[in-house]
Structure 1
C-alpha cells in the first residue's frame, strides 16, 4: 500500500450506526460519518438529538442492555467487533473523550497529577515517577504550570479544570479526540482560549477531532466540516462555514438563525428560533421526523422519510426541498436570507 493511499484512509469511519436503548428508544439511527487525521468534524443539534449517545457509542461506553449495530472503524478496525481486552486498549491510546463538566469527571479526592498519570500507567510500561513527570509535561502543553500536578480539582478554576481534561485526553497519545461540549458553562474569554488550544493541538499533533456542541457559531469557527443531527439522524453535512451561513435543511437554518449576527440589530433583538422540542426517541413521528416543527413541510413529509441527498459540492441534506427538483420550489424561511446576508 502506498503512502498516499494510507493518508486517504479515514482515521474514523462510522457506517450505518444505530443505537437502541433498553425499552426501544432509538437514540441514533443510521449515522454515517468519517474523520481524517488532522481534520475537525463538528456535530450539532439540540439536546436529545443523539449527539452524546453517538460519542459514547464510538468507544462502547453505553450502558448494558443497549443495542448497537453498524460499524465503527477506528484505524480500519471495527470497535464493535473487538473483544473487551482490545476495547480497553483502544480507549485512551486509540481515542479518548473530553467530557462536559470537568468537575464531575475529575475525582475530587485525588491530585490532578495522579489522575493524569493513571491512564499512562495503565497503557504504557513506565514507572510511577515517569508517569508523574509526563503529567507535568502535559499540563504545560495545555498552558498550566507543571507544579499544578499537586493541586486538587477544587483548587482550579473552571477553565483550568477543562485544560486538565484535555491533558488527560492526550495522556496516551491517541489519534482521535472526542470533545463533548468542552466549553460548557465557561465564560466567552476562557471558551475562546480552550477552542484555540484544541485547534492548536489538532494541527501540531495531526489528531482527528470530533467536537460536539449545540452552538453552530462555535463549530463553524473551529471545525472543517459540520454534521447537524436531529432525532438521531444526520440531516445535513458539509463544510462548516457553508452549513452555518447557508444551510439547506430547515432545521439547520433554524439553528443558525437562533444566534444573533454581529452588527445586525434585528437579529439581536428578534433571533429566529424554533418552537417545540425534538421528538421522544421512543415515539418518533411517521415520515420526516422534523415535519411537525417545520414551517416548510409539504403534505408528503408526514408520510415519506427523507435520506441524505446531494446538496452541492461536498454537501448533503435530508430534505424533500433539496436537490435540482426541490430547490426551484423551495420557499424561504422568513428572515433567513437577511440573516445570511449580514453574516
Structure 2
C-alpha cells in the first residue's frame, strides 16, 4: 500500500474590493435663523448597498438628501464633508457640481406630479439631462428616453404622454427613469412611494431593488415607514432632531431597535398575525422639537418613556448595541439589554420629577 499525500487546498478566489460611493462625515446643516436641521451626521454607502433613512417629518431626512447634492438655499450654513467617490461635494466649484448632478448622483423627489413639468411630454423631460450631460443628438436622446421607460416597465410609446395622462405609479416610474438617465452611481430616493397605493408601492420598491442589483448602484432611500425600509434596504439609520440616533442592519433595527425612538417607529406599524399590536396599537405622543429650539441633553427625552433624570442634561453619542448596530441611548451605555425594559422605571422617575416642587 502506497502512501498518498493530500493535495493542498486551492487558494481562495480573489475578492473584489468594495467601492465606497458616499461618505458623509460630521455633516452640520443650519438654516438662516439658526435652525439646526442636521447635526453631526456620519453615514456611508457602498456600491450595491441600500441605505434607509427613517424618522418623522421634521427630523432632517430631506435636508440631508438635499445637502448631498448642494440643493439647499444659498444662505444655509453647511459644514463637514460629503465625499462622492472620494471627492468632496461641499468644496466643488459650481461647474463641477452641475456635472456631478444627474451623472454622478441623482435624486427622485416625492410627489412625481409636483416634480414633473405639466406642459412638457415625459419623454422630453427624460431626454433633457441626456442632452445636457451626454452631448447626445436629439434623436439619440429620445431613443434613450424610450429605452429607459421600457427599463422601468413602461412602453416606449408613453414618452409622448403628458404627466396628467399617466397614473401615479406610472409617473413615479418616469421619475425613476429620469434619475437613471445619465447612469449615476448613486440614487437618492426621497419618499418615492408616499402617494401610492400598497400594490403600486410594492411594484416600485421591487423595481428599485432590481435596478440597484443590476447596475451596482448605491441607494439612499428616505421614508417615515420603517417597515418599508426594513423590507427594501440593507442598512437602516434612524434620525431624530437632525441626528442619527440608531443605525444597523435593517431587519435588526426594525425587529430589535435599541433606541426608544426606533422602538416607537417600529411599533407604530402593526404586524400581520400579531393580535397584541392589532388590538392595542402603540403610538408616540408629541412631535419632534423645533430645530431652532432644541431641548438640552438628549433631544428625545421629553417624549421618551424610558428617560432618566440625566437624559435632560447629558446627550448620548452612538454606542455599539450589537454587531454592526449602534444606538445613542443611556441604557445602551449602561448595558441595559433593552431600553424598553426600563420604560416603567423611567416613567415612574418622570412622574416623580414632574410632581416635585
Of 170, 190, 196 in structure 1, the residue corresponding to residue 180 of structure 2 is: 170
How far, CA to CA, are the matches of 1:333 and 1:191 in structure 2? 35
Of 20, 26, 30 in structure 1, the residue corresponding to residue 36 of structure 2 is: 26
For the residue of structure 1 that corresponds to 2:228, the secondary structure is: helix
TM, length-normalised to structure 1: 0.94
How far, CA to CA, are the matches of 1:47 and 1:120 in structure 2? 33
Task: Report deviation, 1:18.
Answer: 0.4
Q: In the superposition, relative to structure 1, how do residues 110 and 328 fare at CA in structure 2: closer, same or farther (>3 Å)? A: closer
In the other structure, the counterpart of 1:340 is: none
Of 102, 106, 110 in structure 2, the residue corresponding to residue 100 of structure 1 is: 110
Is 1:128 aligned to 2:138, yes or no? yes
Larger radius of gyration: 2
Task: Report deviation, 1:331.
Answer: 2.4
Equivalences for residues 221-300 of structure 1 within 5 A: 221-300=231-310
Computed over aligned residues only, the root mean square deviation of the Cα atoms, in angstroms, reads: 1.4
How far, CA to CA, are the matches of 1:304 and 1:132 in structure 2? 57
Task: Report deviation, 1:203.
Answer: 0.2
Task: Report deviation, 1:49.
Answer: 0.1
Cα offsets for 1:11-60 (capped at 9, x unmatched):
00000000000000000000000000001000000000000000000000
In the other structure, the counterpart of 1:339 is: none
Contact 2:258–2:339 (Cα < 8 Å) also in 1: no
Contact 1:261–1:267 (Cα < 8 Å) also in 2: yes
Q: In the superposition, relative to structure 1, how do residues 243 and 130 fare at CA in structure 2: closer, same or farther (>3 Å)? A: same
How far, CA to CA, are the matches of 2:133 and 2:237 in structure 1? 32
Contact 2:259–2:339 (Cα < 8 Å) also in 1: no
How far, CA to CA, are the matches of 2:93 and 2:275 in structure 1? 56
Unpaired runs of 5+ residues, structure 2, are 1-13, 345-357
Cα offsets for 1:219-261 (capped at 9, x unmatched):
0000000000000000000000000000000000000001001
Equivalences for residues 326-341 of structure 1 within 5 A: 326-327=336-337, 331-333=341-343
How far, CA to CA, are the matches of 1:145 and 1:63 in structure 2? 37
How far, CA to CA, are the matches of 2:158 and 2:62 in structure 1? 30
For the residue of structure 2 that corresponds to 1:322, the secondary structure is: helix
Contact 1:249–1:317 (Cα < 8 Å) also in 2: yes
How far, CA to CA, are the matches of 2:334 and 2:60 in structure 1? 30
In the other structure, the counterpart of 1:214 is: 224
In the other structure, the counterpart of 1:200 is: 210
Contact 1:321–1:330 (Cα < 8 Å) also in 2: no
> How many aligned residue pairs are there?
331
In the other structure, the counterpart of 2:355 is: none
Q: In the superposition, relative to structure 1, how do residues 328 and 240 fare at CA in structure 2: closer, same or farther (>3 Å)? A: closer
TM, length-normalised to structure 2: 0.90
Cα offsets for 1:130-166 (capped at 9, x unmatched):
0000000000000000000100000000000000000
Task: Report deviation, 1:327.
Answer: 3.5
Of 155, 174, 187 in structure 1, the residue corresponding to residue 197 of structure 2 is: 187
Is 1:153 aligned to 2:163, yes or no? yes
Cα offsets for 1:101-130 (capped at 9, x unmatched):
000000000001100000000001210000
